[in-house]
Structure 1
Amino acid sequence: MRAIRLHAFGPAENLTYEEVPDPVPGPGQVLIAVTAAGVHLLDTVLREGEQGPYPEPIPLPTIPGREVAGTVKALGEGTDAKWLGRRVVVHIGMNPGGYAEQVVTDAERLQVVPETVGDAEAVAMIGTGRTAMGILQFAELGPDSIAIVSAAAGGIGTLAVQYAKNAGATVVGLAGGPGKVTRTLANGADIAVDYTDPTWPDEVRAYLGDRRATVYFDAVGGTIGRAAVDLLGKGGRHLVYGWAGERGAQGGEPLLLSEEEQAERGVETVYVLGPKMLELVGGDIRRLEDRALDEVATGRLLPAVHRFPLADAARAHRALETRGTIGKVVLVP
């Protein structure tokens, strides 16, 4: 089969498209013929040799990628025969291997792709979508809410804008560049501003008048995050899940207000990733996957997808790192 492999940590050009042996499913596993593979910002960090959530750098060579959709074409010993021929989507966990024409994974991880959902959209929801569902648990959105969404044209941002509008909230989208501002407005935001223009906070204040934001979805940190937090009113929630701000995807720091500053401003900063997110679903991350797939199957949410051919994984990485993508990046074999 053909796959993308990384033989040395470094720039996107180190990702090579090559022939590799077909994987073989073991006991309790399935072999999936991949039709869509998700690309995550974390993939670019790991490619550079950073450890991310791993205890140590990933051994090389490796096939990156942890989110795939496709059709089950073979079963390992003891695997339930019901999976054969099924359209499935799966987050394969901490073991990479998704940037390939075929993937092996444990059958217990599989989710059936709803009939009304495309494979690329399913991939967008199995990882990015489940994270969005986890973040939104903390937002307490309703008709009186005013939500500021950073990176509003990105994978999570697109879903947060739609979800907030469905809840009746007023939505302020922050996006990088005129094209992304236009997409954010088309996605349902009441106002969208270009955060590369330093006057954007004034534009938001003019729109809101004497109202103040109630929640800020913070994917960027840095000075953009600071300016957005300044727009929160008393009792506002600052939900932190990213920090891809001025220093780029592989730099930057999360904007976590001290207890003293939170008390002074009358706002609450919550780092929503990890244990806090899982606590609200009893530690069962599949419940977030179920919610994400249900939201897209019923049409309440529609993920934005930016497709690249599998062979162009390096180009996809470069585009993601330079903020040249809209929505979830997906490789198509």
Structure 2
Amino acid sequence: MYAIRQHAFGAPDVLVYEEVEPLSPGPGEVRLAVTAAGVHLMDTVLRAGREMGMALPHLPMTPGREAAGVVDAVGAGVDEGWLGERAVAYLGHERNGGYATHAVTSAASLHHVPDGLDDNAAVTMIGTGRTAIGILEQAALSAEDVVVVTAAAGGLGTLLMQAARRAGAVAVGLAGSRHKLDVVLEQGANHAVDYTLPGWQERLGDALGGVPSTVVLDGVGGRLGRTAAETLGAGGRHLYYGWVSDEGRFTSFSPQELGQRGITSRLAVGPSMFGLPGGIRRLEETALQWAAAGRLRPVVQCFPLVRAAEAHHALETRATIGKVVLRPEIDRRP
């Protein structure tokens, strides 16, 4: 089998495509012949050697925490009915191993890929999609809302934008290029604002029509996230879940500011999400069901597995649209 291996921390070029020993599932485990592997921003953070609240992996290792494919082997104690089934799994924060032609995971983490849903969409929804569902359940959007979404052309942002419009809300998306603005509008946004251009703050105010926003969904943080959050009026809800800004920090408000502004602010991931009824598995199931029903439509940008380093570079330089997915090639030789 072949895998992307990381032997050192550093720039994207530390990711190398290698032939490795075949994996065998242990008790309670299955092996997936991988057809799609999700790339997460946290993968790039850990690859670079930045902890960011998580312990660094032991090297060498194969990155990737999201994988879809076909079950081609099962370990002791696993129902053999899984053999030959299309499946998708979140491999876990610590296990990883998705950037490969085969991956091993716990049978308990598997979900059947719904009929009519392709593997790119399935691997998007098992991680990014479940996060979107968790954020949306906490945001409780309605037709009365005016919603601002940062990083609105990303994998998570496009899903949130679709959901805001489905709820009947006025939706404004922030993105970083003309092409990305087009994508945001295609996902249903009423307005899209390029935050890389001078005077974008004024254009955001114009897009809002001079009225305050009621909800800000912020996956960027830093100055951009702060500017977006400052559009909230009294009673507004600020949900934050990422820090991709150059400052590398969440947008947050002090208790005094919250009281003065009359808004609420909460970190929508971590304990807030894990504590939702039914837990993470229920969020995964809902995400897959919504995608299969067309209620959410994942936007995906694919790279061949052998170009994982290029995929990381593109993600880090904000040159991607939607969710980044690696596809093992049919001819798996270097």
TM > 0.5 fold call: yes
Q: Paired residue for 1:312?
A: 307
Q: Can you list the C-alpha shifts for 1:313-332, whole angstroms capped at 9, x where unaligned?
A: 00000000000000100000
8 Å contact 1:79–1:107 — kept in the other structure? yes
Q: Distance in 1 between matches of 2:166 and 2:158?
A: 13
CA contact (8 A) 1:70 1:88 kept: yes
Which residue of structure 1 aligns with residue 86 of structure 2? Answer: 87
- Give yes or no for contact 2:125–2:287 (8 Å, CA) kept in 1: yes
Contact 2:159 2:297 in 1 (8 A): yes
The CA distance in 2 between the partners of 1:303 and 1:321, in whole Å, is 20
What's the CA shift for 1:50? 2.1
Pairwise CA distance, 1:269: 1.0
How far 1:136 moved relative to its partner?
A: 1.0
Indicate conservation of the 8 Å contact 2:172/2:208, yes or no.
Answer: no
Answer yes or no: is 1:68 the counterpart of 2:67: yes
Deviation by residue 1:95-146 (Cα, 9 ceiling, x = unmatched): 0111000011111100000111000110000001101111111212111101
Structure 2 equivalent of residue 325 of structure 1: 320
Q: Partners in 1 of 2:246 and 2:223 — Cα distance? A: 8
Give runs of ≥4 in structure 1 deviating > 4 Å. none
User: 2:175 aligns to what?
Assistant: 175
Paired with 2:96 and 2:322, the residues of 1 have a C-alpha distance of 22
- Per the alignment, residue 240 of structure 1 pairs with 240
Alpha-carbon distance between aligned partners in 2 of 1:39 and 1:316, rounded to the nearest angstrom = 8
1:49 aligned residue: 49
Question: What is the aligned residue count?
Answer: 327
The one-letter amino acid of 1:74's match is: A
Instruction: Tell me the residue number matched to 2:3.
Output: 3
Partner residue in 1 for 2:289: 294
SS of match in other structure, 1:137: helix
Aligned equivalent of 2:222: 222
Q: Partner letter of residue 321 of structure 1? A: E
Cα distance, 1:187 vs structure 2: 1.0
- Ranges in structure 1 where 5+ consecutive residues have no aligned partner: none
CA distance in 2, matches of 1:210, 1:315: 42
Distance 1:102 1:57 in 2: 23
Q: Which amino acid aligns with 1:288?
A: L
Cα deviation, 1:210-238, whole Å, max 9, x if unaligned, reads: 42110000111111112112211110011
Q: 1:28 Cα deviation (Å)?
A: 1.1
**Aligned residue number for residue 205 of structure 1:** 205
Deviations 1:292-315 (A, max 9, x none): 001100001101101000000000
**TM-score, normalised on structure 1?**
0.96
The residue matched to 2:214 in structure 1 has which SS? strand
Contact 2:149 2:216 in 1 (8 A): yes
Q: Any conservation in 2 of the 1:51–1:58 contact (CA below 8 Å)?
A: no
Secondary structure of the corresponding residue to residue 144 of structure 2: coil
Matching of residue 108 in structure 1 with residue 108 in structure 2: yes
Corresponding letter in the other structure for 1:298: A
> Do the aligned partners of 1:66 and 1:92 also contact (CA within 8 Å) in 2?
yes
Task: Report how far residue 53 of structure 1 moved.
Answer: 4.5
What SS class does the counterpart of residue 324 from structure 2 fall into?
A: strand
Q: What RMSD in Å do the two structures reach over aligned CA positions?
A: 1.0
1:14-43 CA-to-partner distances (Å, cap 9, x unmatched) read 100010011001111111100000000000
Q: Between the two proteins, what is the percent identity of the paired residues?
A: 53
Worse overlay, 5-14 or 198-207: 198-207
Residue 82 (structure 1) shift: 1.5
- Structure 1 range deviating more: 45-54 or 295-304: 45-54
State the Cα deviation string for residues 164-186 of structure 1 (Å, max 9, x = none).
11111000000011110111001
Amino acid at match of 2:145: S
**Conserved 8 A contact 2:3-2:101:** yes
- Structure 1 match to 2:157: 157
Residue 126 of structure 2 aligns with which residue? 126
| SS at structure 2 position matched to 1:114 | coil
Amino acid paired to 2:284: E
One-letter amino acid matched to 2:276:
L
Tell whether the 8 Å contact from 1:158 to 1:327 is kept in structure 2 after alignment: yes
| Structure 2 residues not aligned, in runs of 5+ | 329-334
In the TM superposition, residue 255 of structure 1 has moved relative to its aligned partner by 1.2
For the residues of structure 2 that align with 1:304 and 1:143, how far apart are their CA atoms?
A: 24
